[in-house]
Amino acid sequence: MNEDRRANRREKKGAKELLRIGLKVWFYRKDRLPPIEERALQIANQGLRDAIKTKAISSKELEKKARILDDALRKSGGHYYHKKNWVENVEMFLVAAIVILGIRSFFVQPFIIPTNSMYPSFYGMTPYVYEDETPNFLERGADKLLLGASHYRMEAESSGTLYLVLQNGSSHRYVQANFPNGRFFIIPTMVREYVFEIGGKEHSIKVPAEFDMDELLSKKFAGIENLRDLPMVIAQDESLSRGRLKLSERKFVKGEIPLAFDVLLGDALFVDRMSYNFITPKAGDPIVFRTASIDRFNYELGTKTFSQIGEDKYYIKRLVGEPGDKLEMRVPESIFTNGTDVRKGVPGILFRNGQHINGCNAFEQNRKQTNFFAESFKDELISGYPGYRADGLLSNRSILKVPHKNDSDNPTGLNGYFAMGDNSTDSLDGRAWGFVPENELVGRALFVYYPFTKRWGFSE
């Protein structure tokens, strides 16, 4: 008996929804309907209304009244009833979009890391260079699915020596890519274009704007770190802006592939937008933040920055300084005499409030690397972390105070945070552009969901 009552309540709920639509149709269309159809719809509405009000009505009788109204609505409902399939699909997608936007705004937000400033904690776009055989179509498809890999290759259209053609003195230029090379194949986007010359004929490769191909070319063709160390060749009839860098002494034959590589997608992760509404960010958190007001915030603070961001983007860095903290970079004395390569900055140990900074593995690994430089007299990496570098606002032995909203010399009324990349040698971070205002914090990196590598899982 209880089951019957529950079923009856469910049926009455459905009947009420049908009656609501029936009354809506009658109200909006009664003046347009032929008198017979209008009267039939009115009677069907009244019949279902009376059935719903009857407490002891059977399920069979309620269904009968509902079918009568359903038949009347099918005949007279117009675009109000029944909905066409395409309308229902659009409605479903709109509801789904609203739900997704709600989740993104208040709970988690997807974010793809473009650069390697947080390497090896998180990967940005990285290359995989093919020395011999290149992958076939099926292999490229599998790499695309599992690793987000985009394949690039250059086939020699003539025979001769390989040069990189400089463009206004630079290794590349930025151009707009349209269909089919735009984002998602249709959205125009900016890309880097590298132009090569083989046997007097130009070849070009376009890669994502965030991907720096200079190091790839330097290592593959010359085994060096910087393209600027390659010999410059300038044609007599061309200006300096059309100078060329000789990449290889080898003569390539027409049809040969001098360069083939994949660009692996940076880590795609979910950002926890909710936690910082209840807890304060802590040193060691991998934080995502917007850059829109960072320049203005530091200008008002009077921070003597070394560069400006000048754009509104999302960045990911490691939080190293909370409001009120005092930070200091200390360079071991032996670093200056042990032969360590300091072209990418002088290695130092980061201190927070007078103590070695701690709170995450990246802090420990960077400290170990700097100690290794100082003690071993060897210029090599032991764990992938390059050691922090004393630079900019954190030059050797200088004390940097992170602004607190209650400081007398803080006119902004906002707390500031200091952030650095785990890959200190390849990170433009707080050392250059200053502090992050609290209102720009988006959240903490939570979970790497793609690509499917050993980094898949919760973030540290």
Domain residue limits, the chain: 2-80, 126-264, 268-458
Q: What is the 3-state secondary structure (H, E, C) of 100-114?
A: HHHHHHHCEEEEECC
CA of 314: how far to CAs of 15, 111, 232, 311, 442, in Å? 50, 8, 37, 10, 9
Q: What is the pLDDT along the chain (460 residues), one digit of tens a residue?
A: 444 444 467 788 888 888 888 898 888 888 888 989 889 989 998 998 998 888 888 888 888 888 898 888 888 887 767 654 455 556 566 667 666 666 666 788 888 998 999 999 999 999 999 988 889 999 999 998 888 899 999 999 999 999 999 888 889 999 988 766 666 566 778 899 999 999 989 999 999 988 889 989 988 888 877 777 776 665 544 433 468 888 888 899 999 999 999 999 899 999 999 999 899 999 999 999 999 999 999 999 999 999 999 999 999 999 999 999 999 999 998 887 776 767 678 999 999 999 999 999 999 999 999 999 998 878 788 989 999 999 999 999 999 999 999 999 999 999 999 999 999 999 999 999 999 999 999 999 999 999 988 889 998 8
User: What CA dihedral angle connects 87, 91, 96 and 97, to 10 degrees?
Assistant: 100
Residue 95 has a pLDDT of 66
- End-to-end Cα, the chain, rounded Å: 56
User: What CA dihedral angle connects 242, 246, 250 and 251, to 10 degrees?
Assistant: 10
Residue 224 has a pLDDT of 78
Return d(Cα 437, Cα 298) in angstroms, integer.
9
CATH number of 2-80: 1.20.1270.10
How many other β-carbons are positioned within 10 Å of the β-carbon of residue 288?
23
Residue 229 has a pLDDT of 73
Is 412:300 a contact under the CB 8 Å cutoff? yes
Return d(Cα 340, Cα 38) in angstroms, integer.
91
Contacts of 56 (CB under 8 A, 6+ apart): none
- DSSP letter assigned to residue 152: E
CATH number of 268-458: 2.10.109.10
User: What CA dihedral angle connects 424, 292, 114 and 383, to 10 degrees?
Assistant: 20
In this chain, the answer to whether the domains covering 2-80 and 268-458 adopt an identical fold is: no
Residue 318 has a pLDDT of 98
